[in-house]
Amino acid sequence: MSSNSNAPQKTILSFLILFVLMIISTIPSCSSSSTSTSTSTVTEDHHKKFSRKLSLKELWFKREKLSHLHFYFHDIVGGKNPTAIQIAGPPVTNASSTFFGLVTAIDDPLTVGPEPNSKQLGRAQGLYASASQSEVGLMMVLNYVFTEGKYNGSTLSILGRNAAFSAVREMPIVGGSGLFRFARGYAQARTHKFDLKTGDAVVEYNVYVLHY
C-alpha cells in the first residue's frame, strides 16, 4: 500500500531531476567539462570553419551607448590647397544648375570650431556625387577618420543624401571601426558658411551614434 502511493512521487522526482539536468546542460558555464575537453578541437577547427556563433560578451562588447559628436567640416574647393577636387563629370563651367554628374573626392578637415585654424579632430575622406537633376542633391560616401583623443584611429562610415541647400540635412551612419564597431546612427548637417565666389563651405555636424 505504502509502496504503491510512493510510486507517482518517485516518477515526479525523477522527472524533476532529469529536467534540472537538461537545464544545466544548456548553460555554457556549467557544462565547462565538455567544453574544456573539446577546446583543442575548437581551436584546431577554427581556421577551417566558415562561421560560428558568438555572444557579444565573448568579444568584450558590453553595453551599447549613445554618443553625440559635434564638429565643423571644411570643404575647401578654391585656392591653392583645395581639400575637395573634382574627379569626374562635366567641367563645372559646363555643368547644369544642379551640377548633375559631378563627382568630387574629399579629404576635408573636421575641427572643434568653425574657424579654419580651429583644432583639428580628424578628416572626412571619401566622395560626394551630384545625383539629382532637380536640385543640388549630393550622394555622400565617406568616412570620418578621427585623429584626436580616445577616438584617434576610429572611423565612422556615412552613406546618404545631402540636399546641400536645405537648412538641415540628415545622413545615415552605416558603420564604424575601432571604438565605433557596430556603429549606427545619423548625422545632421547645417551650413555654417558658404562662399558663393570660391564654393568653399563650412558645415556644422551633429552626429548621434549608437556603439559599444
Residues within the interface to ligand NAG (CB under 6 A): 90-91, 94, 147-148, 152-153
Q: How far is the CB of 202 from ligand NAG (least distance, A)?
A: 23
Q: Which residue number, 9 or 94, has a Cβ lying nearer to ligand NAG? A: 94
The three three-digit cell numbers of residue 11, written as one number: 516518477
- Give the whole-angstrom CA distance, residue 32 versus residue 46: 19
Q: Output 90 or 172, the one with its CB closest to ligand NAG.
A: 90
- Min CB(152)–ligand NAG separation in Å: 4
- The residue (of 95 and 163) whose beta carbon lies closer to ligand NAG is 95
Q: Retrieve residue 188's grid coordinates.
A: 545632421
Which residues of the chain form beta strands (DSSP E)?
A: 65-75, 84-88, 103-111, 120-130, 137-146, 155-163, 169-177, 184-194, 201-211
Q: Among 77, 137, 136, which Cα is nearest to 107's?
A: 77
Residue number, 14 or 152, with CB nearest to ligand NAG: 152
d(CA 173, CA 155) in angstroms, rounded, equals 11
Nearer to ligand NAG, 4 or 94 (CB): 94
Question: What is the Cα gyration radius of the chain?
Answer: 28
CA dist., res. 64 & res. 50, Å (int): 27
CB of 166 to ligand NAG, least distance (A): 29
For residue 47, the minimal CB distance to ligand NAG (Å) is 29
Between 39 and 94, CB nearer to ligand NAG: 94
Cβ at position 192, least distance to ligand NAG in Å:
25
Tell me the closest approach of the beta carbon of residue 97 to ligand NAG, in angstroms.
Answer: 14
CA separation for the pair 9, 147 (Å, rounded): 69
